[in-house]
Amino acid sequence: MNLQLLLSPEQADLIARFTQAVELSQQPQKKWLNEDQAAEYLGAVSKWTLQKWRKEGKIPYVAVGEIFRYDPDDLDKFMNKNKVVSFNEAETKIRRKKAA
């Protein structure tokens, strides 16, 4: 059974906007971290260190007035970029690649 409705352009526009709003509301929302949360996320670094890294341009952030927010994805990238692999760990990885 096929049901067709006759809608005015205004009604069709209203339904389209409502549908879009519902779809947007069902998408996961990005959680931005404040300074305390970001410092904890990075392994309990001090807020001073976080502020220093921010001022040095090492960590991306969003500023709304004097309020700073950090994207957890950016913090993950920062951590991976600064990851130090020990010699033994690097050697083990090379041996595994050769053995494969």
Domain boundaries along the sequence of the chain? 35-99
How far apart (Å, rounded) are the C-alpha atoms in residues 65 and 58?
20
What pLDDT is recorded for position 28? 67
Could you read off the pLDDT of 32-55 as tens digits, one per residue? 899 999 999 988 789 899 999 999
- Is residue 55 within 8 Å of residue 71, measured between CB atoms? no
- The first and second tokens of residue 80, run together, are 């991976």
- The first and second tokens of residue 51, run together, are 């502020």
Predicted TM-score (pTM) of the model is 0.56
Q: Which has more confidence, 39 or 91?
A: 39
Residues 6+ positions from 31 with CB-CB distance below 8 Å: 72
How far apart (Å, rounded) are the C-alpha atoms in residues 83 and 60?
17
Query: 38, exposed or middle or buried, with CB in 10 Å at 0-12, 13-18, 19+?
Result: buried
